[in-house]
A = this chain, B = another copy of it.
Amino acid sequence: MIRIAIDAMGGDHAPQAVVAGVNQAIDSFMDIEIQLYGDPSQIKKYLTAQERVEIIATSQVIEGEDEPVKAVRHKKNASMVVAARAVKDGQADALLSAGNTGALLTAGLLVVGRMKGIERPGLMPIIPTINPESPQFILMDAGANAQSKPVYLHQYAILANHYCQTVLQIEKPRIALLNNGTEMSKGDDLRKEAYGLLSQERKIHFIGNIEAKDLLNGQADIVITDGFTGNAVLKTLEGTAKGIFKLLKQTLKAGNFKTKLGALLLKGQLKKMAYNFDDTRQGGAVLLGVNHPVIKAHGSANDQAIYHAIEQARMMVLARTIDRMRHAFQQAD
C-alpha cells in the first residue's frame, strides 16, 4: 500500500476540494491509503470514501499570511506540520498540501529533511506548452531559493532528470538553461558558471540555453533556472494566461447580439482550449531534494487538481524516484 499524508486544511477551497479529490482518488487507485490531517468535523462533511482513508485530528492551521518559518516552528499541531512529521517518521510515504507555499517548503526542509548531498532543495512545477508533441515542461527552481549558486542549478538538473525519467517516463529528457540568449557566452556570472557545469555533466542530455520567449514551444523537457527568476517567470506565465482568458471572457460578454451568439457557438471549443492549458492536470509542484515526495498543489486547486496531485505522489512512490535520486547523490559524495 502507498500511504499518502494530506494536509486537508491547506488551500483556498479546503477542506472541501481536498476531500473531494481524495474521494475520487480512492475510487481510482486500489493501492493507495490516504491520511487526512485536519479538523475531523469539517472533513467528515465532504468525505464519501469508505475505505483506506483515515482522519488524523489536528488543532491548528497554517494560514496563507503566516510567516513560513515561524509558522512551522510554532504551530506544532498544524495539519501541514503533523502530516510532514508522519512522513518523516515513516508512517506515510508522501506529503501533499495546497496550503502556504513557503510553509510547505519549510516543512519539507526542516521536518521531512534535506537529502544527503543536496545543497538546496528546489521547487519543480510542471507547465503546459502549446505543442501537442511535447505537451509539458518542468521548471526548476520555481522559487524555493531566492539566492542561488551555480552548484544548485547543477543539482536541480540531476534531480529533475530523475523525476522526468521515472514519473513522466521520458528516457532522455532534453535539459536547457533559461538564459537571455541562446549563445553559450550569454547571461550573468551565475548563468555562465551553470552552463559550464551542465555542459560537462555526462548523466544528463544538456541542449544549451533557452530563451523565455520559447518556453511554451516545447523545445525542452526540463528548464533549469535560479529560484528568483523561476518564480518571476512562472508567475508571469500564470498571470498572462489568466489575464488573457479574462480579457477574452470580458470581450465575449460585453459584445452585441452577434458577439454573444458567436460566443455561445464557441463555448465548447474555448473550454477545451482552456482545459488544455490547465497546469493542474500534471499534478502539483514537487519539492525535489528532500527525503520523501513533497507535493505542493496550487492554492486554488479544485478536486481535479488534488486528484492529479495524489496520482503524482503515487507515481513517485511506485517508481522509487527518491531512491534513485538518493543513490545518485550518494555516489557523488
A interface vs B, CB < 8 Å? Answer: 129-130, 143, 146-148, 178, 180, 186-189, 191, 211-217, 225, 227-229, 231-248, 251-252, 255, 258-259, 261-266, 269-270, 272-273, 276-277
17 A-B pairs in the complex with CB atoms less than 8 angstroms apart: A130-B246, A143-B180, A146-B186, A146-B187, A146-B188, A180-B228, A217-B243, A240-B240, A240-B244, A241-B244, A244-B244, A248-B248, A251-B273, A252-B269, A255-B269, A259-B269, A261-B262
Contact A212 B232 (CB under 8 A): yes
Contact B233 A233 (CB under 8 A): yes
B-chain residues with CB within 8 Å of residue A269 when the two chains form the complex? 251-252, 255, 259, 262
Least CB distance from A102 to B in Å reads 8
With known contacts A186-B146, A216-B239, A239-B216, A130–B247 Cβ distance under 8 A: yes
B-chain residues with CB within 8 Å of residue A252 when the two chains form the complex? 266, 269
Least CB distance from A265 to B in Å reads 3
A225 CA to B236 CA, complexed, in Å:
14
Q: Which of B189, B213, B246 contacts A236 (CB 8 A)?
A: B213
Contact A265 B273 (CB under 8 A): no
Contact B229 A228 (CB under 8 A): yes
With known contacts A188-B147, A266-B252, A277–B244 Cβ distance under 8 A: yes
